[in-house]
Amino acid sequence: MDLQLSGKRAIITGATKGIGKAIAQTLAQEGVDIALCARNLDEVETTIAGLKQLGINAYGEVVDIQNKQAYESWLAKSVEQLGGIDLFVPNVSAGGGMDGEENWQRCFEIDMLGTVRGCEILLPLMKDGGAICLISSTAAVENFIAPQAYNSIKAGLINYAKHLSQLHAPRKIRVNTVSPGPVFIEEGAWDQIKEHMPELYDTTVGQIPMGRMASAEEIANGVAFLLSPAAGFITGANLRIDGGFTKGIQY
Ligand SMILES: NC(=O)c1ccc[n+]([C@@H]2O[C@H](COP(=O)([O-])OP(=O)(O)OC[C@H]3O[C@@H](n4cnc5c(N)ncnc54)[C@H](OP(=O)(O)O)[C@@H]3O)[C@@H](O)[C@H]2O)c1
């Protein structure tokens, strides 16, 4: 299937590792120009160099999403560098954690406001064919480990995406969500859990009927499809990519 993504311009936050990097690479392989950010300069430079080798225009900067001013000025600069904007994936997360109110605030600032600020700046600049894919988690839709900011705020993102999708559909701009189940990334969260909390890791894999965690590329493929004109009539959807990890029936 031709995803018809070639020539489009995408901004992805947190795209030097894991799922964000896989999304950048997958889109670049489809001929999409990319702007990305992360906090580690070496990794930004290496990722940009790798993307450019795929023959696309790539631009990256060191930005901490928690710094509103730096984040917003990077978004504006990215649009300028790309010559416009068609696709947006706010991918950065504060991650899970149970260290009280501080964690709730960090998660709200990074996951929720990082997404909202990006959408508010970029949506008015998008034209017919624009698309956004939020990154939630199956932790938003079913019981997961314990009450924590991550689970609740990821749920809020799905709600936000649905409302955006209704508002912007008449402009022919689509907004969807991907909710990954556990994804195994070298040196990522589940790799750490495998090393330091092997029981939690084994129990979690045991709950996935396909018998393993997802790869970052499997998540990126779903994101690329939802962003593409091939998914041109899909908006307001929340696609779970989880190998059967969630048990509830979606109607
Ligand atoms: N992995 C999973 O099992 C899983 C499951 C469900 C949902 N998700 C979601 O998928 C998304 C990506 O997760 P991941 O596991 O791929 O993460 P990851 O491997 O930890 O990568 C995160 C990326 O974001 C960057 N980053 C982190 N904090 C940042 C900040 N404050 N400002 C700017 N950049 C920042 C990181 O680079 P620097 O550290 O250099 O900044 C890196 O490029 C998240 O929204 C996560 O909640 C993941």
pLDDT tens digits, 39-61 = 999 999 999 999 999 999 999 99
Q: Which of 92, 108, 111 to mutate to test the pocket of ligand 1 (most atoms within 8 A of CB)?
A: 92
The Cα 42–Cα 53 span in angstroms is 17
135 Cβ below 6 A of ligand 1: yes
Residue nearest to atom 23 of ligand 1 (CA): 14
Cβ 14 vs Cβ 20: under 8 Å: yes
E runs forming strands in the chain = 9-13, 33-38, 58-62, 87-89, 131-135, 174-180, 238-241
The Cα 86–Cα 59 span in angstroms is 15
- Helices 18-29 and 41-52, axial angle in degrees (round to 10): 20
243 Cβ below 6 A of ligand 1: no
194 Cβ below 6 A of ligand 1: no
Residue nearest to atom 24 of ligand 1 (CA): 14
- Domain chopping of the chain, boundaries: 9-240
Measure 94 CA to ligand 1 centroid, in angstroms: 8
Q: One digit per residue, pLDDT tens: the chain, 251 residues? A: 899 999 999 999 999 999 999 999 999 999 999 999 999 999 999 999 999 999 999 999 999 999 999 999 999 999 999 999 999 999 999 998 877 899 999 999 999 999 999 999 999 999 999 999 999 999 999 999 889 999 999 999 999 999 999 999 999 999 999 999 999 999 999 999 999 999 999 999 999 999 999 999 999 999 999 999 999 999 999 999 999 999 999 98
135 Cβ contact partners less than 8 Å away, ≥ 6 residues apart = 19, 89, 90, 91, 93, 157, 177, 178, 180, 223
| Superfamily, domain 9-240 | NAD(P)-binding Rossmann-like Domain (3.40.50.720)
190 Cβ below 6 A of ligand 1: yes
